[in-house]
Structure 1
Amino acid sequence: MKKFTIKIGAVSLLFLLLVLKLSCTDDQEETSVALMEQTEQEALFLAMQGFVGNWWNGSELYPDPCGWTPIQGVSCDFFDGFWYVTGINIGPVHDNSLRCTRNVEFSQYLFKLKHLRSLSFFNCFVSYHQSPISIPTQNWEKLAGSLESLEFRVNPGLIGQIPATFGSLTNLQSLVLLENGLSGELPMNLGNLLGLKRLILAGNRFSGRIPDCLGGLTQLLIFDSSRNSLSGTLPLTFGGLISLLKLDLSDNLLEGMLPEELGNLKNLTLLDLRSNKFSGGLTHSLQEMISLQELVLSNNPIGGDLMGIVWEKLQNVIVLDLSNMGLTGQIPETMAELKRLRFLGLNNNHLSGNLSPKFEGMPCLSTLYLNGNNLTGELKFSEWFYGKMERRFGAWNNPNLCYPFELISTGHVPYGLKPCQLELSISDTD
């Protein structure tokens, strides 16, 4: 019995040694495979120091800055048995994210990361007055074979123009320049980015015309250049953006007529052109944009009337804001056939005539603004309608519009309107 016990113990010991040996071998093999090439590691560390400061030398990441102790905001992938940097995200995205130093700079070593696919800066260049910085104009072509996403978000200290060399980034799918201090005209070279799916330039100081060549970005899904100072007319070439889902050019200085070519955008779900200088009336081609969910044209001197649009074709519209546009004529009864409509803004125009009671039957309508027009007659909506809408129904500042006298006793009366006067006969007067 004693020999048997010793024999089992020996076997167990041999098994334990074998497991430890295999474990050590696996660890050694994994360590040798996971190491980063010296040139790649130096490029990473020196590029990061330019953004976060010389205090950071990456020494705590030895021997592997990606696999064992990865840097927050840096992602890697295997190529030919070595780690290579594929993504860098700088800025206070997370509590432990690396933050930019006050004297931030773009190091030339950034462009030596030959497998870099994604580069993002959030709230990194923060001081417009003390230490502004521009985007480098050179070396972007070195990332042309790999870079797919380039983003600068909320960097008020990032000034200057968009480098024309961005046009060499032919693999780019997403270019986001959101809420920075950038200025100047949009470079024509952006038209070279034929694989671009997202182009966001909102919240900067861009000026000048929108290049016609952007209409050749047939794979573009989102184009947002709102809150700038862009001027001129909307390019007719935009009718070629057949894949576009969202187009936002609000809060600019764009002018001229809405091009009929917009009707080619059959997949568009959002068209926001508010707060520009468009004129010349509503183009009939708007009714061909059958996928539209949000149509916002407010605060433009467009003028004209609403009768030329076959509104019932826009059955997917949820938000329709046509306020402060100088519109005249009557409100079409066919607008009440938009069964998915939740918000309808027709306020601050010159609309006249009576309002159809069919608007009460719209199943999803929760906000209706008609205030600031010349509507007349009696509103023939029920007490239930006013109770549902409350202050989201606006009809004030229509001097000749009134509500039924009998609603006074219910407490559900439209704000800012007077009850209709009772017609008294001669006998009633006596």
Structure 2
Amino acid sequence: MLDGPILKQAPTRPISRANNATTLGKEKTEVSVDKNRLDRWKATGVIGLRDYNLRAIPDEVWACGTSARVIELSNNAIPVVPAKIGCLSSLQKLFLSANDILDNSINWEALVSLKFLTVLSLDQNHLTTLPPALGLFTSLRQFHVANNKLSSLPNEIGLLTKLEVLKVNNNRISTMPTCIGDCIGLIEVDVSSNLLSELPETFGNLHNLKSLCLSNNGLKSLPSTLFKKCLQLTTLDLHNTEITMDVLRQTEGWESFDERRRLKHQKQLDFRVVNSGAFDEGADKS
């Protein structure tokens, strides 16, 4: 969750696979899983294989079957998410960030069969599109697909009413679907570093929204309903947009939002060093 005013843009590519061989002592394309480790995976339900330079998901993972609850496979070189993923029917969290996954190398049908999946992370891969099947992930609470090459989001995303965190920053998205307003559970949305020139008015339907990151887009205004209806909103990042303070002051509900934001910051900062609390989330002062 974002916290307080955003003063700097995070690095576009924070995860690096460079020098993994040095870090690990030698390059690994396969993992030798002994019986003790496999038994531990089955006992805990947690499979940790981050930073192993894997080129495929090890067969021992499938051997965990219904015991697997969390799989961490980030920062490898995995190109394929096979149909076998469907055998992990109790899986709740799947982390596949910083791999070599392409649009046609994910077996979405198998992923959809994971009815308990609440967290899916596909950051920093090579995705250019997401399928309509995304709307079938009805248990999903967090969806991370930042640092890809997406140009849009499917309309079916509006079916994800339990979704709380949506991170699609650092893509090539030029428009947000109006059905985003149907994702009524959203608390945190990050669409920074895209190609957006406007946001749909339906953002005002996100009554639980607390954090909205819009930096590094071509936005000149906000939805007129945003401040008026999103009464939980306290964090707003507008750095490197064309939205000015004059625009914000003329947006209905600005005063109440600004008061909430100030109160939040005052709680976070020691009272002895609290400054004027002026808005500093990136809006031009002119």
The reply to whether TM is greater than 0.5 is yes
The one of 225, 245, 248 equivalent to 2:168 is: 225
The one of 89, 97, 103 equivalent to 2:48 is: 89
Instruction: Please give the alpha-carbon distance, in whole angstroms, between the structure 2 residues aligned to 1:234 and 1:114.
Output: 37
Matches within 5 A, 1:288-367: 288-301=229-242, 305=247, 306-314=249-257, 317-318=260-261, 339-340=263-264, 365-366=276-277
Question: Is 1:110 paired with 2:87?
Answer: no
AA paired with 1:111?
A: W
Give how far 1:108 is off.
4.8
Q: Identical aligned pairs, as a percentage? A: 23
C-alpha distance after superposition, 1:69-112 (max 9, x if no partner): x4xxx3515xxxxxxxx2211125xxxxxxx2x56322455334
Question: Is 1:249 paired with 2:191?
Answer: yes
Instruction: Please give the alpha-carbon distance, in whole angstroms, between the structure 1 residues aligned to 2:33 and 2:48.
Output: 18
AA paired with 1:188?
A: P
Q: Which has the higher strand share?
A: 1
C-alpha distance after superposition, 1:2-40 (max 9, x if no partner): xxxxxxxxxxxxxxxxxxxxxxxxxxxxxxxxxxxxxxx
TM-score, structure 2 normalization: 0.73
In the alignment, structure 2 segments of 5+ residues that lack a partner are 1-27, 267-273
The one of 83, 87, 94 equivalent to 1:138 is: 83
3-state secondary structure, aligned to 1:150:
strand
Question: Is 1:169 paired with 2:131?
Answer: no
C-alpha distance after superposition, 1:189-221 (max 9, x if no partner): 111100001111122x23221111111111111
Are residues 246 and 371 of structure 1, via their aligned partners in 2, closer, same or farther at CA, if it must alter by over 3 Å? closer
Are residues 57 and 150 of structure 1, via their aligned partners in 2, closer, same or farther at CA, if it must alter by over 3 Å? closer
3-state secondary structure, aligned to 2:162:
coil
Are residues 103 and 52 of structure 1, via their aligned partners in 2, closer, same or farther at CA, if it must alter by over 3 Å? closer
Instruction: Please give the alpha-carbon distance, in whole angstroms, between the structure 1 residues aligned to 2:146 and 2:155.
Output: 18
Task: Tell me which residue corresponds to 2:43.
Answer: 76
3-state secondary structure, aligned to 1:284:
coil
Instruction: Please give the alpha-carbon distance, in whole angstroms, between the structure 2 residues aligned to 1:264 and 1:206.
Output: 27
AA paired with 1:235?
A: P
Give how far 1:283 is off.
2.4
Give how far 1:123 is off.
2.6
3-state secondary structure, aligned to 1:238:
helix
AA paired with 1:212?
A: N
8 Å CA contact retained: 1:91, 1:123: yes
8 Å CA contact retained: 1:339, 1:364: no
In the alignment, structure 1 segments of 5+ residues that lack a partner are 1-50, 78-85, 93-99, 126-132, 319-337, 343-362, 375-430
Instruction: Please give the alpha-carbon distance, in whole angstroms, between the structure 1 residues aligned to 2:81 and 2:74.
Output: 17
Instruction: Please give the alpha-carbon distance, in whole angstroms, between the structure 2 residues aligned to 1:371 and 1:289.
Output: 19
Task: Tell me which residue corresponds to 2:72.
Answer: 120
Task: Tell me which residue corresponds to 1:13.
Answer: none
8 Å CA contact retained: 2:243, 2:283: no
Question: Is 1:282 paired with 2:225?
Answer: no
State the Cα RMSD in Å: 3.1
Question: Is 1:209 paired with 2:138?
Answer: no
Give how far 1:372 is off.
7.0
- How many residues are aligned here? 244
Give how far 1:296 is off.
1.8
8 Å CA contact retained: 2:144, 2:166: yes
Instruction: Please give the alpha-carbon distance, in whole angstroms, between the structure 1 residues aligned to 2:251 and 2:206.
Output: 19
Task: Tell me which residue corresponds to 1:410.
Answer: none
8 Å CA contact retained: 1:276, 1:300: yes
Instruction: Please give the alpha-carbon distance, in whole angstroms, between the structure 1 residues aligned to 2:82 and 2:120.
Output: 16
TM-score, structure 1 normalization: 0.50
The one of 135, 140, 162 equivalent to 1:191 is: 135
8 Å CA contact retained: 1:244, 1:268: yes
